[in-house]
């Protein structure tokens, strides 16, 4: 009976409170390496705490993000995708950093977001270095209840630049700690 209760409690915590995730790609380097494991708080954004610029979130991407970087609207030359496809890819989980929120204006210059006319301090990123997706000089406005997500490895990240901002309802939670490998254990 105790074992059944312990397993039930562990599954309940993972399903509703804190869930572990493994980093699948280089898109968040140097902050998070491939294979590194993080813990994600699944309840903070469900109870009124809005994601903030700089938060690292796990979320379901829009349909088409995995198989072709489809945008939900017709993009103009030099413009990031301003709206995702309406369908959520519930079988996929992505992890990226919030760079702009609802109502913010955004353009991308040399892989760095310019939000509301200001370049944020991002000492943690790996620059674009002239690779594709570095420059989107046409400004867009992030829709209500959407968050624009970018990987820290700006030249090697498929992110909101291509498939649009993420609706709040598709956010699973905020990564708050790493627990593997042992030499990278810590809080964000």
Report, as residue numbers or ranges, the catalytic residues.
27, 96
Q: Are 70 and 137 in contact (CB under 8 A)?
A: no
CA distances from 125 to 32, 61, 75, 85, 97 (A): 11, 21, 26, 27, 10
Count of C-beta atoms within a 10 Å radius of residue 43: 12
DSSP character string of 132-163: TT--EEEEEEPPTTEEEEE-SBGGG---HHHH
Helix (H) or strand (E) holding 4: helix 2-16
* Tokens read off for 9: 């409690």
> What is the rounded distance in angstroms from the CA atom of residue 70 to the CA atom of residue 100?
20
Count of C-beta atoms within a 10 Å radius of residue 46: 14
């Amino acid at each position: 009976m105790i074992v059944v209760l312990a397993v039930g409690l562990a599954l309940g915590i993972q399903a509703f409170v804190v869930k572990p995730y493994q980093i699948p790609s280089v898109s968040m380097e140097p902050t998070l390496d491939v294979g590194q494991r993080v813990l994600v708080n699944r309840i903070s954004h469900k109870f009124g705490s809005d994601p903030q610029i700089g938060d690292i979130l796990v979320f379901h991407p829009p349909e088409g993000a995995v198989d072709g970087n489809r945008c939900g609207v017709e993009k103009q030359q030099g413009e990031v995708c301003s709206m995702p496809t309406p369908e959520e890819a519930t079988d996929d989980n992505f992890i990226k950093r919030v760079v702009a929120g609802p109502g913010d204006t955004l353009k991308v210059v040399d892989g760095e977001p310019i939000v509301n006319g200001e370049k944020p301090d991002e000492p943690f990123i790996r620059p674009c270095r002239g690779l594709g997706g570095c420059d989107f000089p046409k400004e867009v406005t992030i829709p209500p209840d959407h968050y624009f997500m970018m990987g820290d490895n700006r030249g090697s990240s498929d992110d909101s630049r291509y498939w649009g901002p993420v609706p709040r309802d598709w956010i699973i939670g905020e990564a708050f700690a790493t627990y593997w490998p042992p030499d990278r254990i810590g809080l964000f």
